Amino acid sequence: MSILVLDQLSKRYGALLVTDGISLSVDRGEIVGILGPNGAGKTTLFNLIAGTVKPNSGTITFDGRDITREGAAVRCRAGISRSFQVPQPFTGMTVFENVLVGATFGRDRAGASDFAMRALELSGLTRKANQLAGSLPLLDRKRLELARALATDPSLLLLDEIAGGLTDSECHELLEVLREVNAAGVTMVWIEHVVHALLSVAQRLVVVDFGRKIADGVPDAVMASREVKSVYLGDDVHV
Amino acid sequence: MNRFHVTRATGLSRFALALSVLLVVVLAAAPWWGSTATLRLIGEMMIYLALASLWNLLAGYTGLVSVGQQAYVGFGGYMLFTIALYLGWNPLVAIPLAGLAAALVSIPVAKLVFRLNGAYFAIGTWVVAEVFRLGFAQMSSLGGGSGSSLPVAIMRDMASSKAMRESLIYWAALALGAGSVAFVYLLLRSRIGLALTAIRDNETASSSLGIAIPRIKLAVYVCVAAATAMVGALIFLQKLRIAPDAAFSVNDWTVLVIFMVVIGGIGTIEGPIIGTILFFVLREFLADLGSVYLMILGALAIAVMMLSPQGIWGLIAGRRGLSLFPVGYRVETRGEKP
Ligand SMILES: Nc1ncnc2c1ncn2[C@@H]1O[C@H](COP(=O)(O)OP(=O)(O)O)[C@@H](O)[C@H]1O
Ligand SMILES: [Mg+2]
């Protein structure tokens, strides 16, 4: 049963076709990894799914409902949540308040404070709850992205490069958290350049290049495929 | 886990709140301790405190920099006259009704001006206010361009003695002034306030976290329009006379108000309070100077803006963000006091 279906999705910036007829379906409870070189159009794909930008053509179906024309806020409340590759904290608010925004507006049940604290705990930010988000270093800003996304109680979590720069043990902790969240029923799509981290949780890999989906399947097969090798030939990929 | 609780108040804020309540009680008793002139002055200060707090909510917190709020001041005034003259109702009852009417009118206005951004939004609101002015100048039933007056009989209906009328109008002004500050404070502490702060910091992230930005902005715009119209109704109840130029004056109802908010500190609850007090102090001492007085006001505004973009309250609050009326959240974990 698919939770998310993209059908022939295209997005153009001027002359540049950044998303070129991508079709993709994600099953409920699945963890899908997305790979692709810089500028391939991965973040744009998330922007399209989360409603930050609108496609030029194609449709997006979530939970059986066509959401192509819905705004980002409606999609968030419907259960789609995303982290930003370039963190977008509310710099004048504390870490707790940042997460409280998601817990208050991204879900519709009471108990926002408890939910916000739970998200901070999962993301390892509890001790920084009262710090101004604007004073956080980059890694903590990325943790805050994860915390805010979790606080909206998503059914589909879109993660955009959250593992870069982590030490081995921090990366291990992150993977534990993602497994736990997934075990609780959250579907995930994860864009990540840290391939070994991605491969340790992803059940399926999708490769994007020049706005097109060039591979989609079980991780081993995709990593061994000719398309991926050609894309990453000369690239610094550690598997 | 779960050994935490969230606090909103601080020692300072509890003190400030107690002091504010005391001050309102003392001011409410002014008809017993103050002269007619004192009541007039405090009443006028309260009216400007209300206008300043409301404009600050709109521009400072919601990013809707309107220079057309005189549209609602004038509209409120005209609604009061319409209700009192043609329905013959008590003018004090007309004040909330004027607010309600303004709320309804502000919705289509918002649909129009919200299509504009930044400077165009500001100009758009001004144009709307001019349209209001021209519209009311056409209404011959309300005196057209030369305006109309409230008959004494209507004022007698409100209260038979002059002293009682003055007290009632004064209390209404106090209720609107203190009420506007309280309204802004409570709104900012509510989930709408959380959304406004988030929107001010980052719109993209706000909508991705579920905030319906247009709806929140519309809600604030409509609330501010309604409250501004109530203030307008009271202003012209006090003046007993209304005419289009006075009712929709950009100088009286918007420029002076912006001056107060900017000098006091835009985007803070304390700012409009300080700005209003400072403006009236300056006026008491400098009004005799004529046009030099206006030049001093202008120079002061520029000096404050250059020294401290957050106004006088910004200087006092400093980098630690001291606040008498805090709207934020602090997490306290068990056994650990910050
Ligand atoms: N708002 C935008 N305006 C113009 N071009 C954009 C915009 N956003 C992304 N692009 C372009 O789209 C391409 C894909 O970007 P992006 O989706 O961020 O790639 P990735 O996340 O795979 O690195 C890049 O060439 C980028 O410059
Ligand atoms: Mg990217």
Sequence spans of domains, chain B:
26-249
Note the pLDDT tens digit of each residue in B150-176.
888 888 888 888 889 999 999 999 999
The tokens describing A174, both together, are 């992150």
> Rounded distance, CA B99 to CA A221, Å?
67
Please tell me if the CB atom of residue A54 comes closer than 6 angstroms to any atom of ligand 1.
Answer: no
User: Cβ contacts (< 8 Å) between A148 and chain B: which residues?
Assistant: 205, 209
Ligand nearest to the CA of A231: 1
Please check whether residue A129 touches B, CB under 8 A: yes
Residue written as tokens 């049963």?
Answer: A1
Nearest residue (CA) to ligand 1, atom 6: A13
Please tell me if the CB atom of residue A41 comes closer than 6 angstroms to any atom of ligand 1.
Answer: yes
Mean pLDDT confidence for B321-337: 80
Note the pLDDT tens digit of each residue in A71-121.
999 999 999 999 999 999 999 999 999 999 999 999 987 889 999 999 999
Note the pLDDT tens digit of each residue in A138-178.
999 999 999 999 999 999 999 999 998 899 999 999 999 99
* C-alpha of residue A19 to centroid of ligand 1, in Å: 9
Please tell me if the CB atom of residue A36 comes closer than 6 angstroms to any atom of ligand 1.
Answer: yes
Residue B338: the pLDDT is 44
Q: Could you say which residues from 130 to 189 on chain A have a Cβ atom under 8 Å away from some Cβ of chain B?
A: 130, 148, 151-152
Evaluated on CA atoms A5, A209, A89, B114, the torsion sign reads negative
What contacts A3, CB < 8 A, 6 or more positions away?
Answer: A26, A27, A28, A62, A63, A155, A156, A187
DSSP string spanning B155-197?
Answer: HHHH-SSHHHHHHHHHHHHHHHHHHHHHHHHHHHHSHHHHHHH
User: Cβ contacts (< 8 Å) between A105 and chain B: which residues?
Assistant: 191, 195, 209-211
* Binary contact (A96, B6; C-beta < 8 A): yes
Q: Please tell me whether residue A133 adopts helix, strand or coil conformation.
A: helix
pLDDT category at B295 given cuts 50, 70, 90 is confident
pLDDT score of A202 more than 70: yes
Q: H or E stretch including A49?
A: helix A42-50
The tokens describing A56, both together, are 């030029």
Contact status, residue A181 vs residue A157, Cβ threshold 8 Å: yes
pLDDT category at B2 given cuts 50, 70, 90 is low
Which ranges in chain B belong to alpha helices (H)?
Answer: 11-28, 30-33, 36-55, 70-82, 91-113, 118-138, 152-158, 162-189, 191-201, 203-208, 213-239, 244-247, 250, 256-264, 270-286, 291-307, 311-317
B65 phi/psi in degrees, rounded to 5: -80, 90
Fold designation for A1-79+154-162+189-239: Rossmann fold (3.40.50)
> Rounded distance, CA B130 to CA B136, Å?
10
Residue B154: the pLDDT is 83
Average pLDDT, chain B: 92
Please check whether residue B194 touches A, CB under 8 A: yes
* Binary contact (A117, B197; C-beta < 8 A): no
Q: Which atom of ligand 1 approaches the CA of A191 most closely?
A: 21
Give percent helix, percent strand, percent coil of chain A, each to the nearest 5: 40, 25, 35
Contact status, residue B52 vs residue B188, Cβ threshold 8 Å: no
